[in-house]
Amino acid sequence: MNIWIDLANSPHVLFFAPIMKQLAQNKHKLLITLKDFSETLGLAERYGIHGDVIGKHSGRNRVKKVVCTLTRSIRLNRHFRGEKINIAVSHNSYSQIIAGRLRGCKTVTIMDYEGQPANHLAFRLADKIIVPRYFPDEMLKKFGAHFGKVYKYEGYKEQVYLSNFVPDESFFKEIVEKCDLKPDWDINKTLLVTIRTDPTMAAYHHFKNPLFGPLLGQFNRNSDVTTIVLPRTSDQRREIKAKFPNLHIPKLPLDGNNLIFYSDLVISAGGTMNREAAVLGTPAYTLFAGEMPAVDKSLIKLGRMTPILSDEDFKKIKLEKKNRRDILNNSKLCQEITYQILA
């Protein structure tokens, strides 16, 4: 079969990479499109994923988001003119879902966050919806998803690509080189903290997290900790460099999975990196300012994630070398989701 996969954001590359491998092994033809947003193109190159780049992010303006979504869907549809497509699958790529419906091919969407308003569009148009079991049934109903086209899997989407993770023992050299650390920097003697900034341009985030500035300031003043900050935008990068000179921003992209694994703790205002940390056994602290995702609530119950809801909660952050914890393995999840895409 001809299967079209649209990668519209950075996490989609990681998620679909092992799924693509399984589909290719089963002799399916893969048609790949990418959106020029965040680190999507760089990650695709790192993973050896080649496709056609169509469209870029529209910024924060909601009207522009709608216009760009519709424009990109038209461009995607034109791009595959004359090409037979059996299945179009994405992680809630709205442009692809619209284009897939226009083409009349089977459209599959995968999603794990019930706080995304655009689920109303995606869940109504898609032929199949794949979500984790924690996704509330009442929200599926609210978004117009008929339960007959919904499949729920056990676990977390991050387990698709992290269950068989093997850490790179030479990764420390990459940290030193790309973060301009001293040559004698030693992970065993230093506390390593990774911070991911708030997703100010995401469709589900219409506000800037007020806790983030004070948090960065606190780590900027702590010389006993090596703090690596991963900005989402060039504006964030410039602001952090100017205001927090003691924090380290990588000159070039780091291998995210290894960075999380070797960090003693991870703090993020988004969702994916915190869940990656929780799966890999690294203490995760979430500053997510919207409605807490059901998947995150489940990880909080497991003790693998801690919510930071106010500056008073900063004292919950344990600055200590982490004890290695088992990875939350779910090695069959990739095969399960691949099967459901084809079913």
Examine the domain organization and report whether 116 and 220 are in the same domain: no
Examine the domain organization and report whether 189 and 270 are in the same domain: yes
Q: Which two tokens stand for residue 152?
A: 């729920």
Percent of the chain with pLDDT over 70: 97
pLDDT for the residue numbered 288? 86
Tens digit of each residue's pLDDT, the chain (343 residues): 999 999 999 999 999 999 999 999 999 999 999 999 888 998 999 999 999 999 987 766 778 888 889 999 999 999 999 899 999 999 999 999 999 999 999 999 999 999 999 999 999 999 999 999 999 999 999 999 999 999 999 999 999 999 989 999 999 999 999 999 999 999 888 999 999 988 764 544 444 788 888 999 999 999 999 999 999 888 889 999 999 999 999 998 889 999 999 999 999 987 899 999 999 999 999 998 778 999 999 999 999 999 999 989 999 999 999 987 789 999 999 999 999 999 9
pLDDT for the residue numbered 38? 83
Is residue 140 in a domain? yes
Is residue 244 in a domain? yes
pLDDT for the residue numbered 202? 52
Examine the domain organization and report whether 90 and 200 are in the same domain: no
Number of domains in the chain: 2
Examine the domain organization and report whether 106 and 176 are in the same domain: no
pLDDT for the residue numbered 201? 47
Examine the domain organization and report whether 185 and 267 are in the same domain: yes
Nearby residues of 115 by Cβ (< 8 Å), 6 or more positions away: 204, 290, 291, 293
Examine the domain organization and report whether 116 and 200 are in the same domain: no
* Domain of 75, in residue numbers: 2-163+331-342
Examine the domain organization and report whether 119 and 189 are in the same domain: no
Is residue 323 in a domain? no
pLDDT for the residue numbered 27? 96
Is residue 207 in a domain? yes
pLDDT for the residue numbered 200? 64
Examine the domain organization and report whether 176 and 251 are in the same domain: yes
Is residue 322 in a domain? no
Is residue 104 in a domain? yes
Examine the domain organization and report whether 175 and 157 are in the same domain: no
pLDDT for the residue numbered 141? 97
Examine the domain organization and report whether 45 and 84 are in the same domain: yes
CB 203 within 8 A of CB 167: no
* Cα dihedral 133→134→140→145 (10° resolution): -20
Examine the domain organization and report whether 117 and 211 are in the same domain: no
pLDDT for the residue numbered 206? 43
Tell me how far CA of residue 86 lies from CA of 28, 103, 114, in angstroms: 10, 10, 28
Is residue 326 in a domain? no
Count Cα neighbours of 263 within 13 Å in the Cβ-side half-sphere: 31
CATH number, domain at 64? 3.40.50.2000
Examine the domain organization and report whether 110 and 195 are in the same domain: no
